[in-house]
Amino acid sequence: MKGVLICGGSGTRLRPLTEITNKSLLPVYNKPLVEYPLGKLVDAGITDIVIISGNEHIDQMASYLGSGGRFGCKFTYRVQDKAEGIAQALGMAEEFADGDSICAILGDNIYFDNLTPAITSFKSGGHVFLKEVPDAERFGVATLRYAQGDKAVVDSIEEKPKKPKSNFAVTGCYVYDHRCFEVIRNLKPSARGEFEITDVSRWYLEHGELTASVLKNEWIDAGTFESLHRAAVMVQERQK
């Protein structure tokens, strides 16, 4: 399995900070935000990783992360010239994946759960990680047929619904087999002009090949000042 670390997007909610650097390089307590999702890939034994970022700050990203040697990884870099959604960014990794399954994770997501068992046990199809949140309309939302422990069976998925049918957000870590790239090539832009990762997960759901884990601990989408601050406080508390 190969890793895809997606650090694109313009970070508009974090301006003016993101006018000078990629949001994934902003500090969360004692290290840059990007190291937290990167750590989840490394913990799962994934060391061949492509980093996808916009052209505004790709030089800073490469300057900080380097070849990957100090993280025990090998990094490849791809420039996303225009931000057209997570699925579009993931599609840029097709040549890199070279037929392997992938674990894609967003560079501004922090997980306090151990994702390794779900990632390393993956065989085929698709797998997503769900978290119950109070503001589900900000995310892809899954309704569940049932949940038992940390396992769930997904009944439906929709992208940023105005009236969510549940409070289960689809978080920013996705495990797919190599067929995801064919799905992405055939996607059409959504009403907001983006290629939605939710549509990729829905394809696996419609083919009866989507599995899901329910997160028990905190998950933070650190794309706002408030969530970035909360992430720093939580990391500090856990390191005491």
Q: What is the pLDDT of residue 174?
A: 98
Q: Say which CATH topology domain 2-239 has.
A: Spore Coat Polysaccharide Biosynthesis Protein SpsA; Chain A (3.90.550)
Contact 164, 137 (CB under 8 A): yes
Over range 131-141, report the average pLDDT: 91
Model confidence band, residue 203 (pLDDT cutoffs 50, 70, 90): very high
| pLDDT at 9 (0 to 100) | 66
pLDDT-derived band at 10 (thresholds 50, 70, 90) equals low
pLDDT at 16 > cutoff 90: no
Cα-atom radius of gyration of the chain, to the nearest Å?
17
Number of neighbouring beta carbons within 10 Å of residue 15: 11
What Cα–Cα distance (Å) separates residue 42 from each residue in 7, 123, 216, 228? 17, 18, 21, 22
Does the pLDDT at position 18 exceed 80? no
Indicate if the pLDDT at residue 146 is higher than 90.
no
Smallest Cα–Cα separation from 180: which of 114, 125, 135, 105? Answer: 125
| C-alpha to C-alpha distance for 103 and 175, rounded to whole angstroms | 4
CA distances to 2, 94, 112, 226 from 220, rounded to whole Å, are 23, 28, 9, 10
| pLDDT band, residue 2 (cuts 50/70/90) | very high
Report the pLDDT value the prediction gives residue 11, as an integer from 0 to 100: 61
Contact 48, 2 (CB under 8 A): yes
pLDDT in tens, 29-86: 889 999 999 999 999 999 999 999 988 778 888 999 999 999 999 999 999 888 889 9
Residue with the two structure tokens 């105005």:
162
Q: What is the pLDDT of residue 239?
A: 81
Q: Look at 1-15, 31-45, 93-107 and tell me which has the smallest mean pLDDT.
A: 1-15
| Residue predicted with more confidence, 46 or 12 | 46
At residue 240, the pLDDT reads 73
* Better-predicted residue by pLDDT, 148 or 173: 173
What is residue 89's three-state secondary structure? helix
Q: Name the least confident of 87-101, 109-123, 142-156, 181-195.
A: 142-156
